[in-house]
Amino acid sequence: MVWEKGFLELRDLIAGGEVSPREAVEGFFERFKETEPEVEAYITPLFEKALDRAKKLEKEKPRGKLWGVPLAVKDNILVEGEKTTCASRILENFVAPYNATVIERILLEGGIVIGKTNMDEFAMGSSTEYSYFKKTRNPWDRERVPGGSSGGSAVAVAVGSAPASLGSDTGGSIRQPASFCGVIGIKPTYGRVSRYGLVAFASSLDQIGVFARRTEDVALLLEAISGYDPKDSTSCKEPVPEFTERLKGGIGGLRIGLPREFFEFEMDRRVEEVFREFISKLKKEGARVREVSLPSVKYAIPAYYIIAPSEASSNLARYDGVKYGYRSAEFGNLLEMYSKTRDEGFGREVKRRIMLGTFALSAGYYDAYYLKAMRVRRLIYDDFMRAFDEVDLIACPTSPTLPFRIGERVEDPIRMYLSDVLTVPVNLAGLPGVSVPIGWIDGLPAGGQLIGKPFDEELLLKVSYVWEQIFPHYSKIPPL
């Protein structure tokens, strides 16, 4: 069946004339109709429009890396003429006036967008429970969360209603749901992929990345969306490697570092055991493993929850009911319109983070909180750089736990925030990180995280490719 094909495999079948773009879209549309009632991965399905684009592509000469291949997009990435809600009431009816740079690049390469996926509101969450519209469910156990904030994108790939998808990652929002859903998810180096057209949460941390079931699929889509963009001042003029051409090759002599401090955090014993087995198998392939120290990472969560809410407070100030988005129906004056619009339009978690950030940036507290957190951020980066003098990459579990139950952490924000204790340091340091499935525990997936030097996504993908030859996780489909 078409939906069982990988992203790259499907691209090659379309290029060879064995499958048409229309047949590809129809195949995933059928799978969407089978799975969506159980998992609720999408906010805005776009299959009908995708079929129209597929029919147009069939009349043209094939060109581009993604010709005729469908993919899903997280609903905080602008697609011109389509709703971009960020899973928030305040943007419930907002229609994007232009394409994000990543969407322009996908369309230029012949790709087809088949839908906008569910997420935590404004990407603030670790479970996709904070969406205004619906709760996406984990396909391995519908009573559990898929992770967040890119839960819909991870689930769409896991169940096969999309062969690949785009997400965004501010503190683990690609890697943690990839771990919870049993797929691969990569957050590139900050600046590798343009953020133009990504609705901002925390601008110094946000980065667009990719989900897929196979490494070659991740490599292909990442290759297509990467590269310098003059519209994004944080975009880097770093050459984009041909990731898909450089996957193969052994890992003999590869130096892997295990950070001592990561294993001092509270962690499910079973997750650690599966991770140790993962490392043991990489050692058999010729990798050399040693312990490294990242002493400042114990401050990562406190620093992150000052920096990210502070930037969110600033970025979300634009949603005031004046120019676009939701506006309260009843108000007496301009100030009341602002306050009632924001109170009614934002959910609890978003309001919580706005208040945290506003407090941290307020007069008399900026130096004590935000400035100190930024100094800690630099210490974390320096720790990583010292470790990379000794090793080629760093490895740890992606999440300290297995997917937790829906509702289990919603009323305990600190416990929810600690879901990202192993992923947040990577964002603070601006490094690339990938989560790969490393095993199943009682039917639930566990992920291993590989962290690389700046702009060394190539090595992470190479190790991921070697791993899936040993452990073909991509062949395991959730039992819907």
Q: How far apart are CA 29 and CA 16, in angstroms?
A: 22
Q: List Cβ neighbours of 229 (8 Å cut-off, separation of 6 or more).
A: 101, 194, 196, 235
Q: List Cβ neighbours of 17 (8 Å cut-off, separation of 6 or more).
A: none
Q: CA Rg, the chain, in Å?
A: 21
Q: List Cβ neighbours of 253 (8 Å cut-off, separation of 6 or more).
A: 286, 287, 288
Catalytic one of 126, 150, 153, 173: 173
Question: Any catalytic annotation for residue 74?
Answer: yes
Catalytic one of 88, 127, 131, 149: 149
Q: How far apart are CA 22 and CA 57, in angstroms?
A: 9
Query: What is the total residue count of the chain?
Result: 480
Query: Can you read off the two tokens belonging to residue 103?
Result: 């969407």
Question: Any catalytic annotation for residue 55?
Answer: no
Catalytic one of 5, 65, 74, 453: 74
Are 96 and 84 in contact, with CB atoms under 8 Å apart? yes
Question: Any catalytic annotation for residue 65?
Answer: no
Q: How far apart are CA 469 and CA 146, in angstroms?
A: 26
Q: How far apart are CA 116 and CA 134, in angstroms?
A: 13
Residues classed as catalytic: 74, 149, 173
